[in-house]
Amino acid sequence: MTSSAPDIRIENLTIGYGGKPIIEDINATLPGGGVSVILGGSGCGKSTLLKNILKLNPAMGGSVYLGKHNIFTLKKKAFSCLKQRIGVLFQDGALLGALNLFDNVALPLREHTKLKPAEIAEVVKAKLSLVGLEKFVDYFPNELSGGMRKRAGLARAMVMDPDILFCDEPTSGLDPINSAELDELLLELKKRFEMTIVVVSHDLASMQAIADYVLVLGKGKTLFNGSKESLMATDDVYLRQFLDRKGEKRESSRITMPHLDPSVMRMDCNKLLGDLDNN
Amino acid sequence: MPQSVPEKTIMQPFAFLGKVSLNILGEAGAICIFLFEAILHVFSSLGIFTKTIKELYFIGVRSITVISLIGLFTGMVVGLQTYYALSKFGSEGFLGAAVALSLVRELGPVLTAIMLTGRAGSSMTAEIGVMRISEQIDALELMDINPMSYLVSPKLLASLISFPILTALFDLIGIAGGYLSGVALLGGNSGVYFHRVCTSLSWEDISAGFTKSIVFAVVVCIVCCFQGYFTHFRKDGKGAEGVSQATTTAVVMSCVMVLVTDYILTSLLFQ
């Protein structure tokens, strides 16, 4: 990439939970100014990798460089400054429930800048209109739909004009229209703000729409690491299965399922409702 | 060398005792570090006063009704019981002294702390616990907003202000309650009651009561916030169940700690 946005370099990273490694020796360079998608099946360690990159969970080994800074050896104050240049969109938005939308988005500005209230209001309104929520400033997170919460989370992640944006499953739980809108929004952000975007996802359609670079995790290792085009052309059996959305045939499909005998039910629903087939 | 079966059986209770002791010590150490960090962030946090005012409203103002009610009825019960006991010896005149001393020295600070544990402490745990499991605390950290200074320190400061004021309110209303039952209902002497209240209470009694309430404020606030903050590390429940377990633990632990601290403080302050 020819952008000034920083690369993210992952070197020999081992991630795990409770002392047990999940994925060992991850090596990848997520290019600056592009959209990198960390792809993999449910429970393969994508979100754990993101939490390790963001230092929310301690890594079991290796290093992560944001630009030229190794985040694991960075001093506390320097890491604080680095955090102010990072935006994170959590799975459910992670908006503070006690604050309305305006205050949620304004929070980082109030804490880290010397801007006056009127200037803060201007920035917040601009960011909320970027995600199409300018009419919902007084709403509290529990009054918004899942998609709106994600867009509000995105506005908050964008409010400090970060160099790197991390998104954890941005399209999960959204309908196809909302998913497509969020993908378009991410592409627009990349184009307008020239930032590095890292998206953790298992949504293939979303990956195909936004990715420049893909890192595929699964079976406790890195399965693929390269451009979207080379991933789509891969011959690897497991990756093909994943990309073509084909499940493995399981033994369980041949097991005959016993039917539940109505006589074991505590309530005689047949007597109360009659047969549902009869009018 | 592997242990033989009888040796293992003999060692089991000691191993269990050791494990429990280590757990208690570990938790106590963690709570002390948590307290230290909370105090540190009281001085280093920007805009703590705005957040403290919000907490003061929740912990202090919204507790006035319940504290007043509990104070009134506690005073009335103490007045009633003491009047009956004193009348057996013909010493009804000492009713004011008995009510005032028992309320200011013991019942006021302890009952206020226990009531505030139930009303404000439990919601502190639940609020912070829910924020923990819904990634709101992670979000704060990644916005470079220290969760201790944003969530815990304002609550600590607000508790330190609210607890003594509410204790004083409890004492005052309790003394009025003692008057209601001992004087207005049972026919004790009004002038003697207030004279005994004024002459029996010394500055040491009042300051000891306030000292207790300040210590209880720290105990209740830190124990409740600690339980909420580390909800995700609980082994007895995850998610919503973890928050409910944390809230129960926080309330029980705070009440026990208040009573234990009360004994220690009483033995130190009233020698």
Best B41, B142, B145, B243 residue to mutate vs chain A (most A CBs within 10 Å): B142
Q: pLDDT category, B56, cuts 50, 70, 90?
A: very high
What integer best gives the mean pLDDT of chain A? 86
Q: What span, in angstroms and rounded, lies between the C-alpha atoms of A263 and A35?
A: 57
Of residues A168, A155, A145, the one with CA closest to residue A106: A155
CB contact under 8 A, B135 and A84: no
Q: What span, in angstroms and rounded, lies between the C-alpha atoms of A199 and A253?
A: 34
Above 70 in pLDDT, residue A118? yes
Enclosing domain of residue A157: 94-161
What is the β-pairing status of strands A213-218 and A35-40? parallel
Same domain? For A3 and A80 the reply is: yes
B142 CB within 8 Å of a chain A CB: yes
pLDDT in tens, B166-188: 999 999 999 999 999 999 999 88
With beta carbons less than 8 A apart as the criterion, state whether A169 and A91 touch.
yes
Chain B environment of A96 (Cβ under 8 Å): 131, 136, 139-140
Same domain? For A157 and A125 the reply is: yes
What is the β-pairing status of strands A69-70 and A61-66? antiparallel
What ipTM, to 2 d.p.?
0.83
> Tokens representing B89?
């010896």
Name the residue with higher pLDDT: A130 or B211.
Answer: B211
The pLDDT value recorded for residue B170 is 97
Flag whether A24 is in a domain.
yes
CB contact under 8 A, B131 and A97: yes
pLDDT in tens, A81-101: 888 899 999 988 899 999 999
The pLDDT value recorded for residue A215 is 92
Best A48, A96, A150, A165 residue to mutate vs chain B (most B CBs within 10 Å): A96
The pLDDT value recorded for residue A251 is 60
Same domain? For A61 and A199 the reply is: yes
Q: What span, in angstroms and rounded, lies between the C-alpha atoms of A15 and B13?
A: 37
Under DSSP, is residue B207 helix (H, G, I), strand (E, B) or coil? helix
Of residues B128, B86, B144, the one with CA closest to residue B227: B128
With beta carbons less than 8 A apart as the criterion, state whether B136 and A142 touch.
no
DSSP for residue A140: -
Flag whether A273 is in a domain.
no
Under DSSP, is residue A94 helix (H, G, I), strand (E, B) or coil? coil
The pLDDT value recorded for residue B154 is 94
CB contact under 8 A, B136 and A95: yes
Q: What is the mean pLDDT of residues B95-104?
A: 94
Flag whether A257 is in a domain.
no
Same domain? For A130 and A222 the reply is: no
CA nearest to B54 within chain A: A98
Name the residue with higher pLDDT: A218 or A118.
Answer: A118
Flag whether A22 is in a domain.
yes
Q: pLDDT category, B217, cuts 50, 70, 90?
A: very high
CA angle B252/B253/B258 to nearest 5° reads 100
Q: pLDDT category, A1, cuts 50, 70, 90?
A: very low
Same domain? For A24 and A157 the reply is: no
Same domain? For A154 and A167 the reply is: no
Q: Taking each helix axis as running N to C, give the angle between helix B64-87 and helix B95-102, from 0 to 180 degrees, rounded to the nearest 10.
A: 140
Q: What is the mean pLDDT of residues A257-277?
A: 74
Q: What is the mean pLDDT of residues B61-89?
A: 94
The pLDDT value recorded for residue B47 is 77
- How far apart are the CA of B180 and the nearest CA of chain A, in angstroms? 42
What is the β-pairing status of strands A86-89 and A196-201? unpaired
Flag whether A250 is in a domain.
no
Same domain? For A1 and A15 the reply is: yes
The pLDDT value recorded for residue A2 is 44
DSSP for residue A6: P
Name the residue with higher pLDDT: A4 or B17.
Answer: B17
Same domain? For A152 and A48 the reply is: no
Outline where DSSP puts E strands in A134-241: 164-168, 196-201, 213-218, 221-227
CATH number at residue A240: 3.40.50.300
CB contact under 8 A, A91 and B130: no
With beta carbons less than 8 A apart as the criterion, state whether B151 and B225 touch.
yes
pLDDT in tens, A126-177: 999 988 898 999 999 999 988 899 999 999 999 999 999 999 988 887 888 8
Of residues B187, B204, B184, the one with CA closest to residue B270: B204
Chain B environment of A83 (Cβ under 8 Å): 141-144
> Tokens representing B127?
């609020």
- How far apart are the CA of B220 and the nearest CA of chain A, in angstroms? 22
Above 60 in pLDDT, residue B239? yes
Q: What span, in angstroms and rounded, lies between the C-alpha atoms of A200 and A89?
A: 10
The pLDDT value recorded for residue A181 is 86
Q: What span, in angstroms and rounded, lies between the C-alpha atoms of A226 and A231?
A: 7
A115 CB within 8 Å of a chain B CB: no
Counted domains in chain A: 2
A66 CB within 8 Å of a chain B CB: no
Q: What is the mean pLDDT of residues A225-253?
A: 78
CB contact under 8 A, B134 and A94: yes
Flag whether A27 is in a domain.
yes
Best A51, A74, A88 residue to mutate vs chain B (most B CBs within 10 Å): A88
pLDDT in tens, B125-181: 999 999 999 999 999 999 999 999 999 999 999 999 999 999 999 999 999 999 999
Q: What is the mean pLDDT of residues A55-63?
A: 88
Same domain? For A60 and A167 the reply is: yes
Flag whether A180 is in a domain.
no
Same domain? For A196 and A71 the reply is: yes
Same domain? For A26 and A9 the reply is: yes
Q: What is the mean pLDDT of residues A186-213?
A: 89
CB contact under 8 A, A94 and B136: yes
- How far apart are the CA of B57 and the nearest CA of chain A, in angstroms? 15
Flag whether A75 is in a domain.
yes
List the single residue in B46, B134, B143 with the smallest CB-CB distance to A108.
B143
List the single residue in A83, A95, A111 with the smallest CB-CB distance to B142.
A83
Query: Residue A265 phi/psi, 5° resolution?
Result: -70, 145
Best B128, B131, B141, B144 residue to mutate vs chain A (most A CBs within 10 Å): B144
What integer best gives the mean pLDDT of chain B? 92
Q: pLDDT category, A46, cuts 50, 70, 90?
A: confident
Edge to edge, the sheet with strand A196-201 lists A86-89, A164-168, A196-201, A35-40, A213-218, A221-227
Same domain? For A142 and A14 the reply is: no
The pLDDT value recorded for residue B116 is 96
> Tokens representing B204?
């040491």
